[in-house]
Amino acid sequence: MQVPVLQYAYYLAQIYIAMSPLSNNSLFLRYHRNPLPEYFARGLKVTLSTDDPLQFHYTKEALMEEYSVAAQAWKLSACDMCELARHSVIMSGFPHEVNVRLSYRHETLMDELDNLFKVQDSFINLEFGSFAQIKSIF
């Protein structure tokens, strides 16, 4: 998509673009020429995806491989990586409630564990001595 007018139309319509840079690198487009960082910088809704993971990837976690190579090759920040992941969740087509849960599941899990430990702290102190000792187990 090298036509600027088409890129602008994708931007205005907020159309998501799934890209598989490692697969493209193996087939027809060298990694350093991939337009993903350019599209991302322009505000297009790009996502990282996999294509034939058994053929083009070297690890069991093909999508993590895409993210880690992209982060290193294009010097993407943690914020950039989160935005790419967020685009993937939104693009998934799941209902809004599921998207929210997937987008914020780590924060929610940490909050729930923190609340659980706060409530259980008095009981833990009786049996184990301190919250710090229990936390060190995990």
5-59 pLDDT, tens digit per residue, is: 999 999 999 999 999 888 877 787 888 899 999 999 999 999 998 887 777 777 8
**Nearest residue to 134 (alpha-carbon basis) of 114, 108, 106, 107:** 114
Look at 62 and 53; give whichever has higher pLDDT. 62
Q: What is the 3-state secondary structure (H, E, C) of the chain?
A: CCCHHHHHHHHHHCCEEEECHHHHHHHCCCHHHCCHHHHHHCCCEEEECCCCHHHHCCCCCHHHHHHHHHHHHHCCCHHHHHHHHHHHHHHCCCCHHHHHHHHCHHHHHHHHHHHHHHHHHHHHHHHHCCHHHHHHHC
Using the predicted structure, report yes or no on whether residue 128 has a pLDDT greater than 80: no
Per-residue pLDDT, averaged over 106-110, amounts to 69
Q: Which amino acid type is present at position 136?
A: S
Q: Which amino acid type is present at position 127?
A: E
**Residue 48, beta-bridge partner list:** 19
67 CB contacts (<8 Å, ≥6 apart)? 48, 81, 84, 85
Contact 39, 85 (CB under 8 A): no
Look at 45 and 113; give whichever has higher pLDDT. 45
Using the predicted structure, report yes or no on whether residue 115 has a pLDDT greater than 90: no
Per-residue pLDDT, averaged over 66-94, amounts to 89
Q: What pLDDT does 11 receive?
A: 94
Q: What is the residue-averaged pLDDT of the chain?
A: 80
